[in-house]
């Protein structure tokens, strides 16, 4: 229900109205199609950078491959 209304209302607002923690929503949320490989790709970029890249550079590398990422810190 929260995901279905996410284009109308923020997750925070809906969780507040339903009296559930946002962390509960994100813990239970299933990945959308295309998200499942993102963690492994992020780990690979970090490994290739010899554990040097932070969130900004990892985001840049993901964007070069056409991935849209906007929730990483340091955007």
User: Residue-wise pLDDT tens for the chain (75 aa)?
Assistant: 777 777 788 888 888 999 988 888 877 776 666 666 778 888 899 999 998 998 889 989 998 988 877 654 444
Sign of CA dihedral 54, 55, 58, 64: negative
Whether the pTM exceeds 0.85: the reply is no
Please give the structure tokens belonging to residue 62. 């993901």
Q: Which two tokens stand for residue 43?
A: 């780990």
């Amino acid at each position: 229900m929260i995901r279905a209304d996410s284009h109308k209302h923020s997750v925070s607002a809906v969780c507040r109205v339903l009296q559930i923690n946002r962390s509960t929503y994100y813990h239970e949320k299933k990945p959308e199609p295309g998200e499942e490989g993102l963690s492994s790709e992020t780990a690979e970029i970090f490994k290739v950078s010899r554990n040097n890249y932070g969130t900004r550079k990892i985001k840049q590398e993901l964007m070069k491959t056409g991935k849209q990422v906007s929730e990483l810190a340091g955007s």
